[in-house]
Structure 1
Amino acid sequence: MSTTNTSQVNEAPAPWLAHFPITFFGISMGVFGLALALRAAGFAATSGFVTILSLVILVMLYGLYALKVLRYPGQVAEEWKHPVKLSFFPAANISLLMLSLLSQDAFPVFSAGFWIVGAVIQAVLTVVIVSTWISHRAFGPGMLSPAWFIPAVANVIVPLGAVHLGLPEVGWYFFSVGLLFWIILLTLVFNRLIFHDPLPGNLRPTLVILIAPPSVAFLAWMELNGARIDAVAHILFNIGLFFTALVVVQVPALLRLPFAISFWALSFPLAAMTTATFRYAALTGAEGYRVAGFVLLALLVITIVALAMRTTRAALAGEICQPD
């Protein structure tokens, strides 16, 4: 009898690990984004501390998801087949690319290595994900959400390190692909938001992702275009401002929703816009934008602290890593 009980215990699944979602990598994206925003604001020491914290979080997430891949490959396959969760797979790679950016000065060799690995993975992921989108599987309008922007955003992050490594042509490739799919997906997402049913509650926070593509594209354009504020730079930055204003209008409704891990979607886009604002202010000399950057930075810090507290509370209450 005791042998049978022991066998049953050994074979019992760990539900929290089986349901550990790929969307958790949105946490590392947000905290790395905060580190980049702090660096852009001139807080180098604080940025360094947050970078170390981000690295610890990323290693933990990589380790836990690797365990999930080994123990519950079926659950991973289900996430890959999911029309929303599929788009979060590049989030794990985006964090690696941001780590590369943050380690450029202190650890240039490691930074180059992180960037090469991240760029190769992103190139493969983009082809595979787009191939999945256009395969025989039918995606209905209700499956579309701003989370689909994540693969596109990942592409325009790659050029931020490409120029630094003397690989501008590689940067142009990723920028071109990212910009193309941002425009395509922007049209599709707005069609879904305007002409179809509203986003379900757990996906509504992904509306904030609208801010990320133009903000990151602006930063990438600055790298590729020799840090010149030209017409394209103005267009990309001001589109980011528009989507920021659009999201601000949605915030009261978002705050009334029950907490979900998808709320971490608020962090990285806000960080990207904060960094873009500081960059724009530095290149134009416009003091008003520098002040706006500090306002956005304060909001970003408050947002991430609030999300961290709420996530901790949800974890202690057993509200996360549960079946959908």
Structure 2
Amino acid sequence: MSSNRGRIPVAFFGIAVGALAFANLWRVAIRLWHLPAAIGGLMTVAALVVWIVILAAYGQKRLTHGAEARAEMQHPVQSSFAALGPVSSLLAAQLIEPYAHTPALALFGVAAVAQLALGVYLHGRLWQGGRKPELVTPAIYLPTVAPSFVAGTAAAAFGFHQLGGLLFGAGVLSWLAIESLILHRAAVHEPLPEALRPLLGVQLAPPVVGGVTYLSLSSGTPDLFALVLLGYGLYQAVLLLRLLPWIRQQAFTAGYWAFSFGVAALPTMALRMVERGATGPLEWAAPLLFIAANLIIGILVVKTLSLLVNGKLIPAAAAPAASSRSASDAPAASRIAQAG
């Protein structure tokens, strides 16, 4: 790697989240369609390795370049991605649970407390005001919506259904409030700069990640509310397809992993609904969504490995801006996109 490369950005936890969510998708597909179990094991191991490598690299950054990490945490956009550290750990706990229940439970406990503390801290900063409209992106879902949903799903997996319901409530109501803020910014202010457009991929995640949580906390044939969540997720997927030529004006960076969580969660929700007895269009839509997710994640992996081989995966070293004013310039926007 060339010497002018920086340290791993906190937003790289988005890669771990996408890989872990994709492994969970395969776990559900194997259970539903009796696919080769070895593939699921390979996906799980690969995802856990990615998570451990990113966790270790970011931990080293905190120890050896603490000032840079602290400055990143003060950035109004980049700091939101810190929430994906606990989110990835919650997803890892779910993957580990069938093999090592006690360590997985301990990991769940630590990650659940961390996501709550970090979410309250970052979301509280948003309530204090002063953020410029150009810095309102779907990344603001990450401190509250994503951790609450994933923690709710994990809580259900460990048998804490009442806790899961509380977390689901925090996630769904935060999602509805925050989405109105994002849509207002998109409608009445200047378009997102090219460098930040891949962050729109986050927009797909809330309805389907929340849908997976809802299915984890309920039983029986999926009801109307499950269909409502899936329907909105499908609509978001179609909307992103319509916007894809506009988004792709930004050359590929690791920031495109913003799509991965929603891309993996959408078919996961559909498969779990079929597993629970849903019939009709969902029965043929589920395999199509599964195939599409494999293609999209495969493209992300290939392009990311290409950046890695060419020494371009980690953005060039630069001190992250801590203020809204400096973060709104084009170079800062480019760094955010490369990072996350």
TM more than 0.5: yes
Deviates more, 1:283-292 or 1:101-110: 283-292
Per-residue deviation, 1:227? 4.4
Mapped to 1, the partners of 2:315 and 2:112 lie a distance apart of 30
Alignment partner, residue 140 of structure 1: 132
Q: Give the counterpart letter for 2:71 in structure 1.
A: E
Pairing 1:188–2:181 present: yes
Pairing 1:41–2:34 present: no
Deviates more, 1:59-68 or 1:18-27: 18-27
Q: Give the counterpart letter for 2:134 in structure 1.
A: G
Q: Give the counterpart letter for 1:27 in structure 2.
A: I
Q: Give the counterpart letter for 1:138 in structure 2.
A: G
3-state secondary structure, aligned to 2:157:
coil
For 1:14-25, list aligned pairs within 5 A.
15-16=4-5, 18-25=6-13
- 1:257 paired residue among 235, 242, 250: 250
Mapped to 2, the partners of 1:288 and 1:106 lie a distance apart of 35
For 1:86-105, list aligned pairs within 5 A.
86-105=79-98
Per-residue deviation, 1:202? 2.1
Mapped to 1, the partners of 2:172 and 2:201 lie a distance apart of 18
CA-to-aligned-CA distance 1:149-200 (integer Å, 9 cap, x gap): 1221121111212123232221122111111211111000001111111112
Alignment partner, residue 295 of structure 2: 302
For 1:54-203, list aligned pairs within 5 A.
54-135=47-128, 138-151=130-143, 152-203=145-196
Per-residue deviation, 1:254? 2.9
For 1:223-238, list aligned pairs within 5 A.
223-238=216-231
Q: Which has the larger radius of gyration?
A: 1
Tell whether the 8 Å contact from 2:94 to 2:157 is kept in structure 1 after alignment: no
Q: Give the counterpart letter for 2:27 in structure 1.
A: R
TM-score, with length taken from structure 1: 0.89
Deviates more, 1:285-294 or 1:187-196: 285-294
Tell whether the 8 Å contact from 2:211 to 2:269 is kept in structure 1 after alignment: yes
Tell whether the 8 Å contact from 2:221 to 2:277 is kept in structure 1 after alignment: no
Alignment partner, residue 278 of structure 1: 271
Mapped to 2, the partners of 1:59 and 1:123 lie a distance apart of 21
Mapped to 2, the partners of 1:140 and 1:88 lie a distance apart of 18
Mapped to 1, the partners of 2:286 and 2:170 lie a distance apart of 29
Mapped to 2, the partners of 1:293 and 1:115 lie a distance apart of 29
1:227 to 1:143, Cα distance in 2 relative to 1, 3 A? farther
- Percent identical pairs in the alignment equals 26
Mapped to 2, the partners of 1:197 and 1:284 lie a distance apart of 45
Mapped to 1, the partners of 2:315 and 2:7 lie a distance apart of 5
1:164 to 1:258, Cα distance in 2 relative to 1, 3 A? closer
Per-residue deviation, 1:275? 0.2
Pairing 1:205–2:198 present: yes
Q: Give the counterpart letter for 2:38 in structure 1.
A: A
Tell whether the 8 Å contact from 2:16 to 2:47 is kept in structure 1 after alignment: yes
Tell whether the 8 Å contact from 2:28 to 2:268 is kept in structure 1 after alignment: yes
- 1:288 paired residue among 281, 284, 294: 281
Runs ≥4 residues deviating over 6 A: none
Alignment partner, residue 315 of structure 2: 321
Mapped to 2, the partners of 1:62 and 1:15 lie a distance apart of 22
Mapped to 2, the partners of 1:285 and 1:231 lie a distance apart of 11
3-state secondary structure, aligned to 1:250:
helix
Pairing 1:269–2:262 present: yes
Looking at both structures, which has the greater relative contact order when contacts are Cα pairs under 8 Å and sequence separation is at least 6? Answer: 2
Alignment partner, residue 209 of structure 2: 216
1:89 to 1:266, Cα distance in 2 relative to 1, 3 A? same
Per-residue deviation, 1:243? 0.8
Mapped to 2, the partners of 1:139 and 1:227 lie a distance apart of 44
Mapped to 1, the partners of 2:276 and 2:17 lie a distance apart of 26
3-state secondary structure, aligned to 1:158:
helix
Mapped to 1, the partners of 2:160 and 2:280 lie a distance apart of 33
Count of residue pairs brought into register by the alignment: 310
1:220 to 1:258, Cα distance in 2 relative to 1, 3 A? same
Mapped to 1, the partners of 2:137 and 2:269 lie a distance apart of 24
Per-residue deviation, 1:85? 1.0
List gaps (5 residues or longer) in structure 2: 319-334, 336-340
Tell whether the 8 Å contact from 1:282 to 1:290 is kept in structure 2 after alignment: no
3-state secondary structure, aligned to 2:276:
helix
Question: Could you say what the CA RMSD is over the residues aligned between the two structures, in angstroms?
Answer: 1.9
Tell whether the 8 Å contact from 2:221 to 2:273 is kept in structure 1 after alignment: no
